Structure 1
Amino acid sequence: MTTTSTLPARAGVGLKAEHYGDIVSGWPDMGFFEVHAENYMGEGGAPHRYLEAIVGRYPLSLHGVGLSIGGEGALDKDHLARLKKLIGRYKPASFSEHLAWSTHDTGYLNDLLPLPYTEATLDRVCGHISEVQDALGVRMLLENPSTYVLFEESTIEETEFLARIARRTGCGLLLDVNNVMISAVNHRMDPFAYIDRFPTDLVGEIHLAGYDETTDSAGDRLLIDTHGSAVRPDVFDLFIHTLERTGPQPVLVEWDNNVPAFAELAAEAARVDAALDAVRHKPVAAQ
């Protein structure tokens, strides 16, 4: 099994069609680009022409949203085959998916839905991840979710659940700091304590993004994972705390909605690179 976690410890951004021209006309100083696998499963066209040019100059992170790793049913073999073909074509430096489910019977849901953290769920997720890694021939990273509900039947804390999955299957972890903040605020938990419990030795990539905020029926803060703005200040503070425990890592700035001009996205990446440089020669905090 090939290890696909060789991204540089720099900032990267999501590759958007709106920015193709800016990228190929100037070849900006960027650590890497990330794409959603499902957007490139067609055979050809402009998206593949641009991606081929960009992969010739930058490392690629391939991020999946359609495997339904936590689903109760069998994995979609056709989807796995398309993923394998895409990985063979572009040889990404990293491949990742979500700890979530998005299928029911033969239908696909346009969402990444949460799971109860039980021994049965753990066995099912581990089985699916092992199947994915065997089929694709690569080591995958599993991303922590953003959640809005908790399950009464959960018997395992999320950080322990992720650690046990990774150690049983050999996969790595993708630590989404924005998701940590969203879940912590929504469930009245301490996001810094969550990071302190996270198995940071297993982290192969970090994600940052913006969130939207509203209030719930009780008038309390409710954060929504929208990826539609710059990284929020509280998320960036949590990111700095995270780097003290992980050391420098590949860090993706996600901005999928209300996509700005490329210069604004590149400025967010430069801010992340500055934070990475600041911790590059500091000792990692004891776990």
Structure 2
Amino acid sequence: MTPTAGLGLKSQHYADALASDADGLWFEVHPENYMSAGGPRLAALEAVRARRPLSLHGVGLSLAADADPDPAHLLALKRLVDRFEPFVVSEHLAWSTHRGAHQPDLLPFPRTKAALARIAANIGRMQDALGRRVLIENPSLYLPLQGHDLDEVDFLKALVIKTGCGLLVDVNNVFVSASNLGYAAEAYLDALPGESVGEIHLAGHGPDEGGSALLIDTHGAPVAEPVWALYRRLIRRIGPRPTLIERDDDIPAFAILMAERDRAAAELAALETAHA
């Protein structure tokens, strides 16, 4: 099966995922939720993987930290990769650990030349440990940081050149960051190297509390229409890519998520037809 549009797999949807006959459907999970020796969660994932392609989307390696990735975490991830043979493995361009302390978020950093060298080395360690190419996801940003040497697209391009990694483009993250920091989301997407994009994410966002103009990447709402428009713009330029609907909060019924997934699948199918 060729993966087209997929969903983040949630435990309350295991039965629905197994029962679905949708063409091209695939599922993505955070590997940190499955780093155990056994149990019902791993058994459920085995059952889903027997029928569907799977992607592993990491949230815990802290590649932008000022330290090497945790060897134990890499080993546990390697075991999952070997066991489930995902068609994509990805991580975030962010940090979440410092001197043994773990932060419950994916945090930004100044895009300096030193940070580029350090993160490229950490991506290299990840790829060497897994024996495969990984994709790196662009972040959601909320406030401007000082001290950048490169803009975000140039930083991502440099990581691709230095490490051979690919990109996971989260279109919602682009929209949120562009709104918060005051740049054009369209120009950002147009500048990305299309040949390096291996996966696309679509998710929902919402305003910060108190009526603020700040947008928060909540993963708790349907994909907004401006994000759909950016998605169409991107795939019309670079071609179809496996596309995921992300929903991690206020999770609705499987059928509601599938309706969004089917919309992405229809966009991809229309593009294939136009290029046939």
- Bucket of the pairwise TM-score, normalised by the shorter protein: over 0.9
Local SS of the residue matching 1:207: strand
Contact between 1:8 and 1:249, CA under 8 Å: does it hold in 2?
Answer: no
How far apart are 1:234 and its partner, in Å?
0.8
Which residue of structure 1 lines up, in the alignment, with residue 12 of structure 2?
Answer: 18
Contact between 2:219 and 2:246, CA under 8 Å: does it hold in 1?
Answer: yes
Consecutive unaligned residues in structure 2, runs of 5 or more: none
| Inter-partner Cα distance in structure 2 for 1:259 and 1:215 | 20
Whether 1:40 and 2:34 are equivalent positions in the alignment is: yes
Which residue of structure 2 lines up, in the alignment, with residue 97 of structure 1?
Answer: 91
* TM-score, reference length from structure 1: 0.92
1:274–1:27 distance in 2 versus 1, CA, 3 Å: closer
Residue 276 of structure 1 aligns to which amino acid in structure 2? L
Structure with higher helix content:
2
Which residue of structure 2 lines up, in the alignment, with residue 3 of structure 1?
Answer: none
How far apart are 1:78 and its partner, in Å?
0.5
State the structure with bigger RCO (CA 8 A, min sep 6), 1 or 2.
1
How far apart are 1:30 and its partner, in Å?
4.7
1:1-287 maps to which residues of 2 (within 5 A)?
A: 8=2, 10-214=4-208, 221-282=213-274
Moved over 3 A (4+): 25-30
* TM-score, reference length from structure 2: 0.96
| Inter-partner Cα distance in structure 1 for 2:20 and 2:228 | 28
| Inter-partner Cα distance in structure 2 for 1:49 and 1:27 | 20
Q: Deviations over 1:227-281 (max 9, x none)?
A: 0011011111111111111110000000111111000011111000111112124
Local SS of the residue matching 1:243: helix
Consecutive unaligned residues in structure 1, runs of 5 or more: 1-6
Residue 95 of structure 1 aligns to which amino acid in structure 2? V
Local SS of the residue matching 2:160: helix
Q: Quote the sequence identity (%).
A: 47
Local SS of the residue matching 1:221: coil
Count of aligned residue pairs for this structure pair: 275
How far apart are 1:57 and its partner, in Å?
1.0
Contact between 2:3 and 2:24, CA under 8 Å: does it hold in 1?
Answer: no
Contact between 1:64 and 1:98, CA under 8 Å: does it hold in 2?
Answer: yes
| Inter-partner Cα distance in structure 2 for 1:26 and 1:33 | 12
Local SS of the residue matching 1:139: coil
| Inter-partner Cα distance in structure 2 for 1:176 and 1:55 | 24
| Inter-partner Cα distance in structure 2 for 1:209 and 1:24 | 23
Residue 244 of structure 1 aligns to which amino acid in structure 2? R
How far apart are 1:110 and its partner, in Å?
0.5
How far apart are 1:27 and its partner, in Å?
4.4
